Structure 1
Amino acid sequence: PALEARVRLFQQSEGLDVDGVIGERTVLRLNTRLGIGLTSARALSRAQLWAESR
């Protein structure tokens, strides 16, 4: 519950759809804020999607 609340706050502050889920757009925005390059962000997003599909 605490993590979901933090995710919701982050999403709201970034103008994202607020759903409490760390989806692709949230991951990309987090990575941008953390200074991780776009290539890394895409790789992380794809890894997350792969993990969710299993």
Structure 2
Amino acid sequence: MARMSKAAIGRRLGLHPATVRKFAPADSVGKLIAQTEQRAHLVDDYVEYLHRQ
């Protein structure tokens, strides 16, 4: 099977070139899945109050 350029992959899949560049080097699905980090927010101390309102 012939190798495709990243630009060709993007055109074929309808993806933005930056998206193709971001995901092309991944060697597993796990690296493609976004890992969310819990960051502190200014409202963290008030979440329960806000939910009650």
Q: TM-score range by the shorter chain?
A: 0.3 to 0.5
Q: Which has the higher contact order (CA 8 A, sep 6+)?
A: 1
Q: Which has the larger radius of gyration?
A: 2
Q: Which has the higher helix share?
A: 1
Alignment TM-score, normalising by the size of structure 1: 0.34
Alignment TM-score, normalising by the size of structure 2: 0.35
